[in-house]
Amino acid sequence: MANTHLFQTQRGTMQPRHTTLNASGSIAYQLSPQHALAQYAITGCLNNTYYANAEAQLAEVLRLTDEVEAEFIAKAAIYCREKGYMKDMPALLAAVLTVKGPQYVAPVFKRVIDNGRMLRQFVQILRSGAVGRKSLGTRPKKLVQAWLNQASDEKLMQAAVGNTPSLADVVKMVHPKPDSLSREAFFAWLIGRPYQTEHLPAIVQQFEAYKADKSATLPNVPFQMLTALALGREEWARIAEQGGWQMVRMNLNTFARHGVFDIPGMAGKIAAKLANPELVARARAFPYQLLAAYKMAGQTVPATVREALQDAMEAALDNVPSLAGNVVVCPDVSGSMQSPVTGYRQGATTAVRCIDVAGLMAAAILRKNPAARAMPFEVKVVGIKLNPRDSVITNAEKLAAIGGGGTNCSAPLAKLNQEKALVDTVVIVSDNESWVDDRRHGATETMRQWALIKQRNPLARLVCIDIQPYATTQAQERDDILNIGGFGDDVFKLIASFAAGQMQPGHWVQLIESVSLD
């Protein structure tokens, strides 16, 4: 008689056999090269993650770029910059195109290299030799030269902050031909050569005048250029008033330390700036960055400013959809989710963990869908009571406070099956590295449990949001299953389209392929 453990009759339709092992060594489904590259592009920060180091990530991205067409690389670079607000990955993909698809470099450069930091990263990556060349070459050099001549004076001053390489290094490297006396004087000033003061841009003249005389008008330059100077409380207050939204968000404790909030009215001004929906949208802020600012704000930061961050969070999550029917959202709260969402990098590790982002996404969906059910999971589903009327930050902190245990992506689906629950949309937010439910053969347990849900709920849809740069999934892509990566608010738009039946198989890859290169 056949071994009934091995040849047990399975309920429901036949499920696809696993195709690979995930980073934790358990069975999974391999994403297509295009999908895998998109996943790395939208979540990868080229830092060490829980299961892979930065070098392994870079090697995998370069391997994937060998397996896909250059046109897809170009579209992925634009998508992850414009929709995912990523920095390292779009610069890397743009650099890869100088070797694998030079005809796409110009259109990608114009849309991806949109500020000085991106310019310096692009140059650094090319010069490193990581993509197969150590010189810029004619075409990239001309693009960099054009950027240096066409950027506004303000953008150039912003670009002058930072090293390895510095903007001065870039100018010395590409030797741009100035197209005006003002730009010629700026380049000379930047690299320490003689210049005529009267030809300097006004913003540089103001900066030099202030360095010489602290009673002069405080220049509207990046505050990093001023911090080496002896600044008083009033000067710091003007920096806060003049500063961009992101700068203010990142320096609340600095302003408190320098007494800015002791000045009557300043707390209200900063709070108004932080809560301004237009400024939030223009800053292309990740919701998790607001959570980080809220978590990091010390007790010396006034309550009105901390509350403004909560208001900004609501504005940043404007794209969270209201979903029809029975909605279940399942944030992964296992041990691996304790790692930083953008990975470990010495001196630059974010305080925001994967579990914070998963909790934030779940709380946002709950806020827009008050009847939704939250099912946080690790080895098993963890019981928790959340009030959908609470702020997104409050519920996100409650979910993130659970933490610990192994990863079992099928746990919430199994519980729904035990309850014979009726569902329309299930959203799982995880690093997708399920191992507790490993079967070692056949389909993943997630696919088996989803098949049972589909028997009761034939129109149900499953969304798997992966917030880490890995190339496998626990639920194979098909009409009723969407695999998507990222932690920006654009993810919510895609959930809404998918739940409404407006996306076809290969959903996310097709979306990236639809990016125009014009």
Structural domain span for residue 399: 20-28+320-513
Same domain, 301 and 422: no
pLDDT grade, residue 10 (50/70/90)? low
Nearest to 38 by CA among 2, 1, 90, 97: 90
Q: Within a domain: residue 14?
A: no
Q: Within a domain: residue 60?
A: no
Same domain, 377 and 273: no
CATH number at residue 367: 3.40.50.410
- The domain total for the chain is 2
Q: Within a domain: residue 275?
A: yes
Same domain, 465 and 359: yes
Q: Within a domain: residue 434?
A: yes
pLDDT of residue 6: 45
pLDDT grade, residue 4 (50/70/90)? low
Same domain, 290 and 340: no
Same domain, 376 and 453: yes
> Reduced to 3 states, what is the DSSP secondary structure of residue 481?
strand
DSSP state of 505: T
Same domain, 312 and 340: no
What are the structure tokens assigned to 399, written together?
Answer: 């979910």
Q: Please give the model's pTM, rounded to 2 decimal places.
A: 0.90
Same domain, 386 and 432: yes
pLDDT over threshold 80, residue 506: no
Read off the pLDDT of each residue in 29-53 and give the average, rounded to a whole number.
91
Place of tokens 């320096």: 251
Q: Within a domain: residue 247?
A: yes
Can you say how many angstroms the Cα of residue 468 is from the centroid of all Cα atoms in its chain?
A: 10
Same domain, 243 and 300: yes
Specify burial of residue 379 (Cβ count, 10 A radius: 0-12, 13-18, 19+).
middle
pLDDT of residue 272: 97
Q: Within a domain: residue 212?
A: no
Same domain, 315 and 346: no
Same domain, 294 and 397: no
Q: Within a domain: residue 33?
A: no
- Tell me: the pLDDT tens digits for 113-143? 999 999 999 999 999 999 999 999 999 999 9
- Tell me: the pLDDT tens digits for 399-450? 999 988 999 999 999 999 999 999 999 999 999 999 999 988 899 999 999 9
Q: Within a domain: residue 248?
A: yes
DSSP secondary structure string for all residues of 279-346:
HHHHTT--HHHHHHHHHH--TTS-HHHHHHHHHHHHHHTTTPPPPPS-EEEEEB-SGGGGSBTT-B-T
pLDDT of residue 7: 46
> Reduced to 3 states, what is the DSSP secondary structure of residue 464?
strand
Last residue of a domain, one of 260, 295, 319: 319
Same domain, 276 and 346: no
Q: What angle do CA 326, 332, 334 make, to 5 degrees?
A: 150
Same domain, 293 and 337: no
